[in-house]
Amino acid sequence: MEVKSPIAGTVCKIIAHCDGADICEGDTIVILESMKMEIPIEAPKSGKITEIRVTEGMSVSEGDVVAVME
């Protein structure tokens, strides 16, 4: 399952790491900054993060994939 950015912004912090650790629905994966606000991107379901596709400081557009879960 791909986790996508709901808005355009800059990745200011990566919370979850791609180490196969379990993550619960609602846990924060990445925090974006947009229009001087911090927007958390949360896990849509429980599972494992298999890939983080962004880095801190990276700009993302609405709909860009920020992480992949299984």
Which domains does the chain possess? 2-69 (2.40.50.100)
Give the helix/strand (H/E) hosting 15.
Answer: none
| Mean pLDDT across 25-31 | 96
Neighbours of 66 (CB within 10 A): 22
pLDDT tens digits, one per residue of 3-12: 999 999 999 9
Mean residue pLDDT of the chain comes to 93
